[in-house]
Chains A and B, each alone.
Chain A
Amino acid sequence: MPPESQKMESEVHITYDDQQKINKFARLNAKYEDFKEEIQGRKSELQNLEDAISELMLCDETNQIMYKEGEIFLYKDVSNAQNSLEEYKHELLTVAANIEREIATLKEQIDELKAHLYAKFGNNIHLEMEE
């Protein structure tokens, strides 16, 4: 039986399939937020690291510096510390790139679902994220 709509535009029949899509949308959205939060943390970590590296360049090469590892500080040569920092930075960059990629894929999927759901439900559905 076709829905006797017309008089009420808001009456669009929601099928099981639509529900699955809505669920998926909510799911992806939550993931997206999680990743966003994570990338933020990584980015500030990276920033600190950059600062440390440039600070280190101003250091006297013959000095020993204290390098924080876990909960203790180690004494390291400047060049040694530089290597450690660069290594760490490289690692962090890889991690951050992976997260960025995940975010991009998620965004794509989210946009696709969004387009589909808006096409079907028009103004009856609200899919924007709260920023």
Chain B
Amino acid sequence: MVDEEKKVSHAGIPQAVFVEDVDSFMALSANKGNAEKVLRRLDEQHNKYKFMELNLLAKRKRLKNQIPDLERSMDMIRLLKKHKAESGEEEILTEFLLSEQLYSKAKINPKNTVYLWLGANVMLEYTLEDAADLLSKNIESAKQQETTIEEDLDFLRDQFTTTEVNMARVYNWDVKRRQALNNNSS
């Protein structure tokens, strides 16, 4: 009975079907004019959509944090490159973050390689060029993912907006029906 309401689509998000005409919708064999039942079902669907939205929003937030991190690494590599081009072998004097709120003077020997943290406790040495390539690829794919999530969110929003409208209309339909009943009986 629920199947006819949902069609497969976008990243597994079921589509909410727009109700063209409430009268004929309520007359469907699955609904039998039982507004309470239909409303409960729509509400359930609405909750599911909200849950999916929560998931997607969390994912988006993670990406939004990740992208600036990657870009910062990229900036550092650019800085090393620039320093090397301008000052050659000269050391870079920095205050280096040892721990949160704790800095110490550190000299950095300009080298042609950096180490990138790949995750899973692995760090790999890259030349500056390769590291920049890898990072820009990662940034690009993170941005790509972000776009996909945005699209899914848009689609999802359409679905629950439709569901909300459906709920309001079924509700109104029921109010009208009750009034008609009252008028008839009195």
Contact, CB under 8 Å: B158 / A72: no
In this complex, how many residues of chain A approach chain B with their Cβ under 8 Å: the count is: 20
- A14 touches which of B103, B157, B169 (Cβ 8 Å): B169
CB-based contact B72/A70 at 8 Å: yes
What band does the interface of chain B fall in when counting residues whose beta carbon is under 8 Å from A? 20 to 34
Chain B interface, DSSP helix/strand/loop, else mixed? helix
Instruction: Choose one: B20, B96, B157; the contact of A27 (CB below 8 Å).
Output: B157
Partner of A23, one of B76, B153, B157: B157
Q: Which residues of B contact A16 (CB under 8 A)?
A: 18, 20
Binding site for B on A (CB under 8 A): 8, 10-11, 14-16, 19, 22-23, 26-27, 30, 66, 69-75
Some 13 contacts from A to B, beta carbons below 8 A apart, are A14-B169, A16-B20, A22-B165, A23-B157, A23-B158, A26-B157, A71-B72, A72-B96, A72-B106, A73-B94, A73-B95, A74-B93, A74-B94
B-to-A contact residues, CB < 8 Å: 18, 20, 72-73, 75-76, 79, 92-97, 103, 106, 153-154, 157-158, 161-162, 165, 169, 172, 176
